[in-house]
Amino acid sequence: MVSWLFLAVSLVGAAFTATAVFRLRLGPTLVPWFFAGWLTSEMALIHLVWQAGATVVFVALGALDAWPGWLGLLVTLVSWWGLLRVQRRAYAAADTFSQVLSDGLGGAWSLPAPRAPWSRLFRPFGYRAQGVERIRDLAYGEAGKRNLLDVYRSDARPEGCPVLLQIHGGAWTVGQKDQQGLPLMTHLAANGWVCVAPNYRLSPRATWPDHLIDVKRALAWIREHIEEYGGDPSLVVVTGGSAGGHLAAMVALTENDPRYQPGFEQVDTSVAACVPFYGVYDFLDRNGVRGPNALAPFVERFVMKSSPLVDHESWEAASPISLVHPDAPPFFVIHGTHDSLVYVEEARIFVDNLRHVSRNAVLYAELADTQHAFEMFHSERSSQAVQAVRAFVEAVREGKIARRSAGVRRTG
């Protein structure tokens, strides 16, 4: 009985490992594959520890007294090999980011390949950062709790700090300002930046472009009020992940567009740069990237509330890939090869289109074996992403961004 139970537990552990090693795109598996692969690829060492602990216990109980136990041990060893491979790929992200920065910013960049402290590796959701103050729930509009924002700044309260606008994701239907981007915001706030994280109206109650209007309204609040919190309203970088990546790109590509600034048309809504993580760039999926796993039915029902066949112009206007232009600000696009929810091919096509027209730098980092939402909590790879983004935004701050596009860097 113990041998069979050990085999069953070994197969469960191997299944988690498989979701981090392999990319699968079968419709019904997308969400569960994402969750399992996300938690495994970013916490491979934690999985290795629990699998090793379970193995020791089962062997001590006599699991190897029968053949199922030996089969379970073989499965476990293969699983450990896979987890070590995943962790090596996480370490290799430092090389990818270093090369992207070297190509895009000029010179020789070498990230220190920061190792997340053991306390963070085994406490990945511990977000408090020493020396960082969070000011909660400042109103920037009239939509109640959905028009509140948080400000992160150094306890030292310096003045004239550059500003990061962090937009949360959640498929335009869920999400909160205090759930995403925290490793990046706390790190930048501790190093001389002021970070702003707003809520915005969510679908299905909200209809596009309500989401974008709210984010731009938060940007208008920054222009008017951020000096009170030590920020420089003239230097704002926008970032976000998933739906937040889509909104970040939209903000960057629709500067000062009166359609999205009702009642505050005269406010400057340009940004100095954009850093979208695993964003959605094409509502229309015009290149057939998603195939049978199309996002359009969900977007039509809950977000746009119109058909792309009937209202094609609005769908085009909601797709960043349709809005690329020569004066787009510098971009640093980041995506993972194993993203189960937003396919990496969409990022590649967006970057290629943007590079064809933009006069500013377009950096692109494609990370091997990396899932959606990889930088939401502390891990080896998220630590490297934070360092890379900091290098990029500091270059923006110092005016060192070259007016040229970086070479493509893909790993895996």
Catalytically active residues, by annotation: 242, 339, 372
What is the strand order of the sheet 273-277 is part of? 132-139, 148-154, 194-198, 161-167, 231-241, 273-277, 331-336, 362-367, 409-410
* Element housing 16 (H / E): helix 2-21
CA 124 from chain centre, in angstroms, equals 16
d(CA 374, CA 38): 7
Calculate the alpha carbon distances from 367 to 174, 247, 394 in Å: 26, 22, 22
Q: Token match 């498989």: residue?
A: 18
**Pairing state of beta strands 362-367 and 409-410?**
parallel
- DSSP letters, 191-236, are TT-EEEEE----TTTS-TTHHHHHHHHHHHHHHHHGGGGTEEEEEE
d(CA 214, CA 212): 5
Residue type, 308: P
Question: 336: phi > 0 → left, psi -120 to 50 → alpha, else beta; which?
Answer: beta
d(CA 117, CA 119): 5
Phi, psi of 234 (to 5 degrees): -90, -10
d(CA 228, CA 197): 16
Half-sphere exposure of 319 (CA within 13 A, CB side): 22
